C-alpha cells in the first residue's frame, strides 16, 4: 500500500545523490571534515533539515538497481496486490507560512520560478480563472505535478506490466481545529488518520469513512483484494476503464480523474528521462 506518491518519475543517479550529499555537508560545515560521514552523523538534526537540499531515493545499482519505471517495463518487480493513491488537495500543506499569490501575474511568476519554460503550458492547463483564487490554482499545480499525477503514472505502469492495482483518491475535507481558519481541505497526509481510526474531528460520517478505509486496507492484507464485506466495489485499475475509488462521504467510483491535466505531467516526466 503506497500513500505518498508514486515511484516512476525520474530518480536521482548515484552521482547526483553524491553531489546532493556534498551540498548538505558544505551547508552544515562538514565539507572539509576528514570524515564527512561522521561529521554529518553528529550534526544537529535541525541543521540537516534546514539545509535546503531535497533528497530522495537514489538509483545506486545495488539496493535500487535501475529506475523503477525501467524495472516495471522489464517485469522485474514483486507480483503482489497493490493499493496506491493520492489526496485531492495534495498541494495545500506545502504553502503553510508562504504568502499567497494574489493575481494572475504573481501566479505566472511563481510558475516560472518553479517550472521554468514549462510555466506557460502549465498556466494554460491550470488557468487561474478556473479556480477560486490564483493561490488555489498554484496549490493544485504543485499537488498534481508532485504527487497526484506521479501516483497515477505508477498505477498505469504497474497495471500495464500485469500487476494487480487498485487506485484511490482521498477527497474528504479535513477540519483540524489547531489549523483553523486555514483551508487545507483534503491535504497531503489527511488519509492517515482515517487509516488508523482517529479522524479529526470524529463525526459519525468520518468514523464511518474511517471504518470503510480500514476494511479495504485489511482485506487487501488478508485476501489480496480490498473488496468484500458489502463495501462499495473498488474496481481493479486498468488504463482503459481508468476507474478509481473516491474516498469521501459517500464513497463513489470516479473515471478519468484529472486525466487531462496528468497527461501533460506524464509528458513532462518522460522528458525528464530524455534530458
Beta bridge partners of 256: none
Question: Which contiguous run of DSSP H or E holds residue 244?
Answer: strand 243-247
Residues 6+ apart with CB under 8 A from 239: 156, 159, 160
The confidence score (pLDDT) of residue 142 equals: 98
Most confident of 92-101, 143-152, 170-179: 143-152
Give yes or no for residue 176 having a pLDDT over 90.
no
* pLDDT at 244 > cutoff 80: yes
Q: Give the pLDDT confidence of 42-89 residue by residue, as tens digits.
A: 999 999 999 989 888 999 999 999 999 999 999 999 999 999 999 999
Residue 179 has pLDDT above 90, yes or no: no
* pLDDT for position 180: 64
Confidence at 259, pLDDT banded by 50, 70, 90? very high
DSSP string, 163-225: --EEEEEE-PPP--GGGTT----SBTTTHHHHHTT-PSS--HHHHHHHHHHHHHHHHHHHHSS
pLDDT in tens, 92-118: 999 998 999 999 999 999 999 999 999
Q: What is the pLDDT of residue 275?
A: 78
What is the pLDDT averaged over residues 25-30?
96
Amino acid at each position: 500500500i503506497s500513500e505518498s506518491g508514486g515511484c516512476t518519475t525520474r530518480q536521482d543517479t548515484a552521482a547526483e545523490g553524491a553531489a546532493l550529499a556534498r551540498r548538505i555537508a558544505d551547508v552544515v560545515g562538514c565539507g572539509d571534515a576528514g570524515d564527512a560521514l561522521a561529521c554529518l552523523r553528529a550534526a544537529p538534526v535541525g541543521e540537516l533539515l534546514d539545509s535546503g537540499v531535497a533528497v530522495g531515493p537514489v538509483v545506486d545499482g545495488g539496493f535500487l538497481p535501475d529506475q523503477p519505471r525501467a524495472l516495471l517495463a522489464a517485469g522485474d518487480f514483486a507480483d503482489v496486490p497493490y493499493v496506491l493513491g493520492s489526496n485531492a488537495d495534495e498541494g495545500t500543506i506545502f504553502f503553510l507560512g508562504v504568502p499567497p499569490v494574489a493575481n494572475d501575474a504573481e501566479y505566472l511568476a511563481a510558475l516560472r520560478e518553479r517550472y521554468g519554460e514549462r510555466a506557460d503550458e502549465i498556466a494554460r492547463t491550470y488557468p487561474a480563472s478556473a479556480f477560486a483564487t490564483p493561490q488555489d490554482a498554484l496549490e493544485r499545480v504543485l499537488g498534481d505535478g508532485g504527487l497526484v499525477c506521479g501516483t497515477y503514472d505508477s498505477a498505469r505502469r504497474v497495471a500495464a506490466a500485469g500487476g494487480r492495482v487498485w487506485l484511490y483518491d482521498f477527497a474528504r475535507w479535513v477540519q483540524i481545529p489547531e489549523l483553523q481558519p486555514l483551508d487545507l481541505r483534503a491535504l497531503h497526509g489527511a488519509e492517515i488518520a482515517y487509516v488508523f481510526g482517529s479522524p479529526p474531528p470524529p463525526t459519525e460520517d468520518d468514523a464511518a469513512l474511517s471504518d470503510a478505509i480500514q476494511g479495504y486496507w485489511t482485506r487487501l492484507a488478508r485476501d489480496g483484494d480490498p473488496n468484500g464485506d458489502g463495501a462499495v466495489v473498488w474496481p481493479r485499475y486498468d488504463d482503459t476503464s481508468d476507474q478509481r475509488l473516491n474516498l469521501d462521504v459517500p464513497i463513489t467510483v470516479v473515471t478519468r480523474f484529472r486525466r487531462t491535466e496528468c497527461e501533460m505531467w506524464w509528458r513532462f516526466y518522460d522528458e525528464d528521462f530524455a534530458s
